[in-house]
Amino acid sequence: MSELITKWQRLTSRVEPLWTLIGAPVIQEFIFRLVPYKLYLSYGGFYMFGILSSVFFASIHWYFGKWFVVYSFAGGLVLWFVIVNYGFLLAVILHALANLVLLSLGILRKVKDRSTVD
């Protein structure tokens, strides 16, 4: 059983950076920005959809800790502005760049490690 766990840990440690840099930005921007953006175009409510999508986006990052939820909410607002004014692709690129900076600085790992203590 421990061999299976070790193999799983090796696999996830290789996949995690790819998920963080490619998978998460594409999927999260689709769910938390593009879908609300389409609703905004149909029904109006720039601030309502921007704030709600940012709240939901921030709430999925709770496992990184309290300060990261605040950071994610602010980032969600910025990315909402970006998708409305510049489009989906730029929002995905900026999300990926933010994740790259956080990974490069080791912040995601530190926050994830610390959040298990909270």
Q: Which two tokens stand for residue 66?
A: 């309290």
Other beta carbons less than 10 A from residue 42's beta carbon: 8
Q: Which two tokens stand for residue 81?
A: 């502005």
Task: Supply the pLDDT for residue 118.
Answer: 46
- Regarding pTM above 0.85, the answer is no
Report how far residue 22's alpha carbon sits from residue 75's, in angstroms, rounded to the nearest whole number. Answer: 17
Any idea where the domains of the chain sit in the sequence?
Answer: 18-115
Condensed to tens digits (0 to 9), the pLDDT of residues 8-59 reads 666 666 777 888 899 999 999 999 999 999 999 999 999 999 999 999 999 9
Listed in sequence order, the residues at least 6 apart from 62 whose beta carbon sits closer than 8 Å to its beta carbon are 69
